[in-house]
Amino acid sequence: MEFRQVMMRRLILLGAPGAGKGTQAQALEERYHIPQISTGDILRAAVKQGSPLGHQAKSYMDAGELVPDSLIVDLIRARLQEPDTEPGWILDGFPRTPVQAEALDNLLQELGQSLEGVVLVDVPEPVLMERLVGRRTCTVCQKVCHVKFNPPPVNGCGREDCPHQWVQRSDDREDVVPTRLAAYHRNTEPLINYYQAKDKLHRVDGNRPSEDVLATLTNLLGPVV
């Protein structure tokens, strides 16, 4: 494992479903006070606020169409100019393709910002499989547990205000997960190559306890200032 101390505060987090990316992003957000910016969240927020961009996005979503890259870039442009992004940001879910990565490069140049690194939380396929297939989600509070690693308590999941109905989400089914993972790899490989060619990619071994993964990530990001 190679460590380059670069004081990353503007970064992209990549990882397959089940790689633990969400958990790590949340921990980094708390530690460094840099917001995690997910395309899904921005879209939902814009639609909810009823902003002009939100209205445009909603018309695509209502029609069951993909929101075009240019509109996503406009939303990210607005988001990256909000004051809480001053200390840095973690992009999650964008870019997804090399074309989007180029659009992001252009946007950041326009904003006078730079992408300091791309972190790939790397987890072997069989481990992802086991993590996803064993996952159970409470249909009421959306809490997640795992049949083997974090078994649901017999009498509820710890939240007293919830009846806790554990189910396996349809996209965590054993017959669906391989397709999901194959799609992830197919879509993400070109992006990984793109950032590797720019010498921005950091691979982090995600097949470890989450606190160990976090330790490696904080090593990459540098000390809290």
| Cβ pair 118, 202 in contact under 8 A | yes
Identify the active-site residue in 58, 77, 143, 180: 180
Give catalytic status of residue 136 as yes or no. Answer: no
> Which residues are registered as beta bridge partners of 115?
none
> Considering only residues 9, 10, 164, 202, which one is a binding residue for Zn ion as defined by CB under 5 A?
164
Give 114 or 142: the residue with its C-beta nearer to Zn ion. Answer: 142
| Structure letter (DSSP) for residue 204 | E
| Binding status of residue 127 toward Zn ion by CB under 5 A | no
Active-site residue, selected from the candidate residues 21, 131, 136, 200: 21
CA dihedral 70, 189, 13, 205 (to 10 degrees): 180
As measured in angstroms, the least distance from the Cβ of 165 to Zn ion is 7
**Pick from 12, 118, 138, 191: which binds Zn ion (CB under 5 A)?**
138
Query: Is-catalytic flag, 169?
Result: yes
Q: Which range binds Zn ion by CB under 5 A, 12-20, 27-35, 139-147, 166-174? A: 139-147
Query: Given the DSSP bridges, would you call strands 166-167 and 135-138 parallel, antiparallel or unpaired?
Result: antiparallel
Measured from the CB atom, the residue of 64 and 153 that comes closer to Zn ion is: 153
Residue 140 CB, nearest distance to Zn ion (Å)?
5
Assess 162 for contact with Zn ion (CB under 5 A).
yes
Q: Which is nearer to Zn ion, 10 or 164 (CB)?
A: 164
Q: Which of 203, 208, 213, 224 is nearest to 4 (CA)?
A: 203
Member of 47, 71, 141, 144 binding Zn ion (CB under 5 A): 141
Q: Which two tokens stand for residue 140?
A: 């009421």
The neighbouring-strand residues paired with 167 are 137
Concerning whether 79 is annotated as a catalytic residue, the answer is no
Helix (H, G, I), strand (E, B) or coil at 172: helix
Q: Whose Cβ is closer to Zn ion: residue 87's or residue 163's?
A: 163
* 120 is a site residue for Zn ion (CB under 5 A): no
Q: How far is CA 67 from CA 6, 76, 98, in A?
A: 34, 13, 17
- 180 catalytic per annotation: yes
Judge whether 21 counts as a catalytic residue: yes
131-137-138 Cα angle (round to 5): 155
User: What is the spatial distance between Cα 164 and Cα 104, in angstroms, rounded to a whole number?
Assistant: 41
**Which residues form the interface with Zn ion (CB under 5 A)?**
138, 140-141, 143, 157, 162, 164
- Residues labelled as active-site residues: 21, 96, 135, 169, 180
